[in-house]
Structures are given as structure tokens and as C-alpha cells.
Amino acid sequence: MVPASVEGRFRRIKWHVLTICLLVYYAVPFLRWDRGPGQPLQAVLFDVERVRFYLFGIEIWPQELYYLTLLLVLATVVLVLMNALAGRIWCGFACPQTVWSDLFMLVERWIEGDRRERLRKMYEPKTPRRIAEIGLKHIAWLLIASATGGAFILYFADAPTLLVEVFTGEASTAAYAVILSLTFTTYALAGFAREKVCTFMCPWPRLQGAIWDPEALTVNYRDHRGEERMSVKKAKAAREAGLPAGDCVDCAACVNVCPMGIDIREGPSIACINCGLCVDACDDTMGKIGRERGLIDYESWTNIERGRRSEPRRRVRLVRPKTMALATAALVLLAVPGLSLGTRATMAMSVSHVRNPSAVLLSNGDIRNAYEVRLVNKSGEARTVHLSSPEGTVLEVPGYAAVEDETVPLELGADASQKVRVLVTASESSEGEIAFTLSDTTTGETVRETNLFHRPR
């Protein structure tokens, strides 16, 4: 595919979105966020060493990966909502494949020229100048691709430190392997595969048939206005003779600028990414011949069919039951994890029964059970917590002494977990569920966990 360049409002929007996306991708790893002593300073970080995910003031632990699952579900709902509003608007403007392909094509035009010039050079003998152009283009592509892979690994360690290590040869083998793999995939997909990724590799176009909405604003050709296609002179003569003549002059500008290589005049296609470049190209042609813009435009399929029946166009309803339901679902998926993160505990406890033996009968007739208790401190500061069992039982932690209120104080390090063996003694008649309580008297936070208390068999 050798698409032509085009100027227009949608092309300008695409340049703005491309710039924002690239700035976000390359700059976010360098944003700082103060979490206190001993904590990473990077605002967005997938900390492999600590097995944590940091997002500004939010910290996700391994056992809280369901938050990331909810985030993926939210992203899916938002994509479906965008599709209900404006079709594959994500694909045409903000998809990484589109962004990097646009960037690679921009470099290609700067070095080799626009479509006509590149097509001409494809069939000419390879002169030293032409070889130099091809070499310079691929060097630029590889530099962009390597910067893409290099930026990706910065999300998994402290960015400034890792960046220095990469350039001084001190980074890990895994870091260089990721950079090389992403360099190759970016170079191949954005430099060569391009539209084939969107048409054949991406599953999203296949879902269009299931979620396609005739009310959505998608790129469409107003065939009731454009047909029959003919030149300006022929159209003028036909109209003077009382014969039908359309506004389309069959200049093929819409096809030449399409990054997917499709002809939107043939009807809706799953390959169309709704980028709007054909709209800009057609509007430019209509302006040159003094005809009204919008022959190709963002329009609902419902209005296209109304135009075929010579019925007046209706205002597109962006707010309708389907979009309201999807927006509500997105808000719920955003609010529920948000409230949960805002109110979640900063410490956790898990209790498992020691099975060998499950219970011991003491000489005085009491029963003792042993448990393995894991305590987790999710805060960035060391803290003293108190572990207790229900009234009527005696709790012991080997190596720790109980205090007057019969709780056992334990020291938990910042952002750390600790496993302790706990012994609980109760009367001979005791059996059933037993509750352990972990409390922090400083913050007032309390966590409870239950397990079973057994009698000897």
C-alpha cells in the first residue's frame, strides 16, 4: 500500500492524537510520585522485583489482580461504547498500530516523497541516491522501533536508572531481549504489515458484524447524491439534458489516501478504520469544483438509507438507550473499583490450619490447635499490630509475649509480609469456627479471619 498524503480537519485531528499518544507513551515512565521512604518514586510502575503495580497513589498487590481484570473489562465496554457512537473511531485515531504506522509513513514521505513520487521510484533503476534514501528510511524506522521497545521496559523499573544501564551495557539480558523483540515487531508491523494487521490479524473487525450500529456516525458515501459518477463537463451536460448526474467525479482521491486501500464508495467494509482521511480528500475535491462538501462524511447508515428514499436527514442521536446503558456500565465498572481502592484495608491476614496433628489433647484436658498465619502490611511504613483470638481461648505465638489484654503484639515491616505459627488453646468442649483478629491501635484498622478449631479424633 502506498497511500497519498492529504490535508484537512480529520488529518489534523489525527496528527494531534498521534502527538499526544506518543508523548504519553514516552513521557509517563519519567513522571515522579512521592510514596514515602523506601518506596519507588516512579508514578506508573510494574515493579517486577516487588510484584506490585503502582499507578500514582494506587498500589496493586498480586492478590489484587482482579482490579486489572476489571480494568480490561472496562476497556472493552468503552470500546463497544465508542463503536456505538462512531464506529471504529479508536482504530482510526488512537490504536497503537495506527499511531506508529502513521509515524512510519510520515518518515517515508519526508525521505522518499509523496505517493506519485514513490510509485515512480518503485519502477526506476536503483541509483546510489535511491539506495541512500531507502537506507536512511530504514535506519529512521529502526531508531523509532528501538525507542519504542526501550520506552516499554521503562515501565518495569526506575526509568532514569534503567535508561542509563541500557546505554552503558549494565541492564539485564531480559531487558535487552524485550527491547530487541519489540524493535522487531514495531519495525515489521508499522513498516511493512500496516493495514494487514488491521484486516487480518486484529480480532476487532470481526466483531463489527455483531456490534454494528446503524445509528453510529461512521464514514459513509452518500451514493444517492454521488451516483451516477461522471466528469464535471459530462455532469453539466447531463443535467442540462434532464438526465441524472451525481456529484462524484470518480477522481479516486478517496481511494488513494485510504491507509486500508479500500473504496468506501462500494459500501461499508470491515476493513474501514473510520479515520476520515477519505472525507478530507473528497471535501477537497468538492471544494475545487464548487460543490457541497459531505459526499463522503461521518454519517449514520440510517440516514444513508433515508437519503436513498429521498427522505430528509434526521439528527443523529448520540444519546439513546444503547449508549446510555453502555455509559452506565462503564461508570459502574469505574466507580466500584474506585470505591473499593479508596476504602480497602492496608493490612491483610490469611489463616491455615496445621494438619499434622490437627489437634492435641493437653494433660489438663484442654485442646490445642496450631495455625499458620500470614500477615501482610500494605502500607509504606512499619507498624505494630496486635493478634488475638476469641474470649475463652488462649493465643500463643512462639517467640512473642502476650500483653495484658491477652493480645500478641507483632512488628510488621513496611510493605512486607510475615508468617507466624500460632497456638490456640481452648477447653475440651470447644469445637467449630474460631475467629482471629488483627488490629492496629494507631490507625484503628481491624481485619478478621476465621478457621476451624478441631477436637482430637
Q: pLDDT tens, 80-107?
A: 999 999 999 999 999 999 999 999 999 9
161 and 282 assigned to the same domain: no
Q: State which H helix or E strand residue 218 sits in.
A: strand 218-221
pLDDT, greater one: 223 or 406? 223
Q: HEC profile for 221-275?
A: ECHHHHCCCCCHHHHHHHHHCCCCCCCCCCCCHHHHHCCCCCCHHHCCCCCCCCC
Whole-number pLDDT of residue 61 = 81
Lowest mean pLDDT among 80-89, 202-211, 321-330: 202-211
Environment class of residue 98 by beta-carbon count within 10 Å: exposed (0-12), middle (13-18) or buried (19+)?
buried
| pTM for the predicted model, two decimal places | 0.85
Residue 405: band (very low, low, confident or very high) from pLDDT cuts 50, 70, 90: low
Residue 324 lies in a domain: no
Residue 342 lies in a domain: no
113 and 246 assigned to the same domain: no
128 and 224 assigned to the same domain: no
Measured CA to CA, the distance from residue 153 to residue 176 in angstroms comes to 9
Residue 62 lies in a domain: yes
Q: State which H helix or E strand residue 408 sits in.
A: strand 408-412
Whole-number pLDDT of residue 430 = 75
Q: HEC profile for 369-380?
A: EEEEEEEEECCC
pLDDT mean over 52-65 = 84
105 and 126 assigned to the same domain: yes
Residue 322 lies in a domain: no
Residue 329 lies in a domain: no
357 and 303 assigned to the same domain: no
238 and 266 assigned to the same domain: yes
Measured CA to CA, the distance from residue 414 to residue 439 in angstroms comes to 16
292: phi then psi, degrees, rounded to nearest 5: -65, 140
Whole-number pLDDT of residue 58 = 85
pLDDT digits (tens, 9 = 90+) for 105-129: 999 999 999 999 999 988 888 899 9
Domain span holding position 231: 218-308
Residue 225 lies in a domain: yes
Residue 339 lies in a domain: no
- Could you tell me if 301 and 218 are in contact, meaning their C-beta atoms sit under 8 angstroms apart? yes
Tally of domains in the chain: 3
Mean pLDDT (the chain, rounded): 90
pLDDT digits (tens, 9 = 90+) for 358-367: 888 888 888 9
pLDDT above 90 covers a percentage of the chain that reads 58
192 and 243 assigned to the same domain: no
Whole-number pLDDT of residue 112 = 93
Q: Has residue 356 got a pLDDT over 90?
A: no
pLDDT mean over 334-354 = 86
414 and 280 assigned to the same domain: no
pLDDT mean over 264-271 = 90
419 and 369 assigned to the same domain: yes
Lowest mean pLDDT among 122-126, 183-187, 203-207, 221-225: 203-207
249 and 174 assigned to the same domain: no
247 and 202 assigned to the same domain: no
Residue 415 lies in a domain: yes
Domain end point (choices 160, 177, 211): 211
pLDDT digits (tens, 9 = 90+) for 269-321: 888 999 999 999 999 999 999 999 999 999 999 999 999 999 999 998 889 99
Whole-number pLDDT of residue 124 = 87
CATH number where 444 lies: 2.60.40.10
Domain end point (choices 211, 246, 264): 211
Domain end point (choices 187, 211, 235): 211
What is the C-alpha R_g of the chain?
32
Whole-number pLDDT of residue 187 = 97
143 and 262 assigned to the same domain: no
